Amino acid sequence: MSVIRNNWTKEEILEIYNKPLMELLYEAATVHRKFHDPNTVQVSTLLSIKTGGCPEDCGYCPQAARYHTDIEGNDLMSVQQVKAQALRAKSSGSSRVCMGAAWRNVKDGPEFDQVLEMVRTINKLDMEVCCTLGMVTENQAKRLAEAGLYAYNHNLDTSEEYYKEVISTRGYEDRLETIENVRKTNVTVCSGGIIGMGESTEDRAGMLVALSTLSPQPESVPINALVAVEGTPMEDEKPVEIWEMIRMVATTRIVMPETQVRLSAGRTEMSREGQAMCFFAGANSIFAGDKLLTTPNPDVNEDMEMFKTLGLNPQKPFIKISQPKTVEAKDSEYQSLGEKPRWTRPDHTIERNELAKEKSKLATKE
Ligand code: SF4
């Protein structure tokens, strides 16, 4: 039970997922105790450094420019703005800042240089820095690592089969290639997915196969419950039941014992009792702050009250991997290559994405 395996099959994972709940919980909690302190939970703050206007068509995302949602877009934040937010996050117990930009992929140039400066600035505050900026090349990953990046987030979202029902503007292999590029550096990998997008249990298991057979397994796996936002193709999806979330967390914990399992989007819909069961099942990280990029999240004070009730402590930074060194821009070993990588653009058609796009055009005309 305690050996890290990179050869999980879908059948084995389904068998775990479908166990009687009490047995599943007991097994997951046992693995969890073997690899982690069960009373410590890592707290991250997610910061949307560039919001909205994204050219991609991810069916769950209100930031895609082609859907009509009521999010307010903003251009790339300044380094000073990010620093102020990071300091606030640190004083309320976060050990990590995760910066998200609504980009298809990173483009070399002044905006990326600005993000590199943000990474340097936050690392110097002795906080773990994570970025989620879309696809990255090997050279870009190296530049992020050199600036002091601790983790790069790039979610697989779902199984390879179901991915074609969610996104038509890029392929699963692009995701895997970016993860591979990050793995060529010392930056840790954060990659997970979303449940509640209309996928089957087999797809959930398929995603866990894809993640757990990466070698090494991702250091961090966020499990999100879909927040169905009006105007997106998934606006009518039913909320995920807490039992599904618990089963997903527990199964992730068993197949990836060393990984930090993150309770991510969808926490506002979960009771404290439900979240407590997720922590028991092996979740050991949350995102703090009242917004998760653009969707609602519990208030920091509510989370700290919950921690008190459950006897949980926020994890200190750099517990597993030491703090990366920051190399200043003037001493950098890497150049901006001005790369124009050819990421895939499968451009097959997804009916519900097309419908949402059409609805958006009509709404904009009105
Ligand atoms: S999930 Fe990311 S890539 Fe997809 S539409 Fe939203 S911001 Fe763009």
Is the predicted pLDDT of residue 274 greater than 80, yes or no? yes
From the list 340, 357, 362, the residue with the least C-alpha distance to 137 is 340
54, 170, 175, 204: the catalytic one is 54
98, 131, 183, 204: the catalytic one is 98
Cβ of 56 less than 6 Å from ligand 1: yes
Average pLDDT on 151-167 reads 97
Q: How far apart are CA 48 and CA 95, in angstroms?
A: 17
Residue 200 lies in a domain: yes
pLDDT digit string (tens) for 301-347?
888 889 999 999 999 999 989 999 999 999 999 988 888 877 888 87
**Is 272 one of the annotated binding-site residues?**
no
Q: How far apart are CA 148 and CA 328, in angstroms?
A: 10
> CB under 8 Å to 131, separation ≥6 — which residues?
98, 99, 100, 101, 115, 119, 144, 149, 151, 152, 153
State in Å: Cα 229 to ligand 1 middle. Answer: 14
pLDDT of residue 173: 94
pLDDT of residue 250: 98
pLDDT of residue 205: 98
**Is 98 one of the annotated binding-site residues?**
yes
Q: pLDDT confidence of 273, banded at 50, 70, 90?
A: very high
Residue 325 has which token pair?
């060194």
Q: pLDDT confidence of 297, banded at 50, 70, 90?
A: low
Q: How far apart are CA 363 and CA 366, in angstroms?
A: 5
Q: Which is more confidently placed, 341 or 111?
A: 111
120, 143, 183, 262: the catalytic one is 262
Q: Exposed/middle/buried for 355, CB within 10 Å: 0-12, 13-18, 19+? A: exposed
Q: Which is more confidently placed, 67 or 1?
A: 67
Q: pLDDT confidence of 294, banded at 50, 70, 90?
A: low
Average pLDDT on 174-197 reads 97
> CB under 8 Å to 239, separation ≥6 — which residues?
196, 225, 226, 228, 266, 269
96, 120, 183, 190: the catalytic one is 190
Residue 12 lies in a domain: no
pLDDT of residue 341: 79
Cβ of 58 less than 6 Å from ligand 1: yes
> CB under 8 Å to 285, separation ≥6 — which residues?
41, 42, 43, 44, 220, 222, 260, 261, 262, 263, 315
**Is 58 one of the annotated binding-site residues?**
yes
Residue 304 lies in a domain: yes
**Total domains in the fold of the chain:** 1
Is the predicted pLDDT of residue 93 greater than 90, yes or no? no
Cβ of 102 less than 6 Å from ligand 1: yes
Lookup result for tokens 């599943």? 24
pLDDT of residue 304: 87
Residue 46 lies in a domain: yes
pLDDT of residue 106: 95
CA angle, 20 as apex, 17 and 22 as ends, to 5°?
105
Atom of ligand 1 nearest to the CA of 101: 7
Q: How far apart are CA 67 and CA 78, in angstroms?
A: 27
Q: Exposed/middle/buried for 74, CB within 10 Å: 0-12, 13-18, 19+? A: middle
pLDDT digit string (tens) for 20-47?
999 999 999 999 999 999 999 999 999 9
Average pLDDT on 53-63 reads 93
pLDDT of residue 275: 95
pLDDT of residue 52: 92
> Any catalytic annotation for residue 278?
no
Cα–Cα distances in angstroms (integers) from residue 350 to residues 58, 167, 354, 365, in the given order: 10, 8, 6, 23
* Contact criterion met (CB below 8 Å) for 80 and 121: no
pLDDT digit string (tens) for 216-237?
999 999 999 999 999 999 999 9
88-97, 237-246, 266-275, 357-366: segment of lowest average pLDDT: 357-366
| CATH code of the domain containing 79 | 3.20.20.70
Q: pLDDT confidence of 361, banded at 50, 70, 90?
A: confident
Cβ of 256 less than 6 Å from ligand 1: no
- Best mutation site among 54, 66, 67 for ligand 1 pocket (most ligand atoms within 8 Å of CB): 54
CA angle, 261 as apex, 258 and 263 as ends, to 5°?
170
Residue 7 lies in a domain: no
- Best mutation site among 50, 57, 58, 175 for ligand 1 pocket (most ligand atoms within 8 Å of CB): 58
Q: pLDDT confidence of 362, banded at 50, 70, 90?
A: confident
Atom of ligand 1 nearest to the CA of 55: 8
The residue contributing the CA closest to ligand 1 atom 4 is: 58
> Any catalytic annotation for residue 130?
yes
Cβ of 54 less than 6 Å from ligand 1: yes
Average pLDDT on 86-110 reads 93
pTM exceeds 0.85 for this model: yes
CA angle, 295 as apex, 363 and 244 as ends, to 5°?
110
Is the predicted pLDDT of residue 299 greater than 80, yes or no? no
Q: Length of the chain in residues, anyone?
A: 366
> Any catalytic annotation for residue 54?
yes
State in Å: Cα 22 to ligand 1 middle. Answer: 37
- Residue percentage of the chain with pLDDT more than 70: 96
Residue 97 lies in a domain: yes
61, 96, 170, 267: the catalytic one is 61
Residue 326 lies in a domain: no
Q: Which domain holds residue 303?
A: 19-315+340-365
Q: pLDDT confidence of 293, banded at 50, 70, 90?
A: low
Residue 225 lies in a domain: yes
Q: pLDDT confidence of 209, banded at 50, 70, 90?
A: very high
**Is 278 one of the annotated binding-site residues?**
no
Q: pLDDT confidence of 292, banded at 50, 70, 90?
A: low
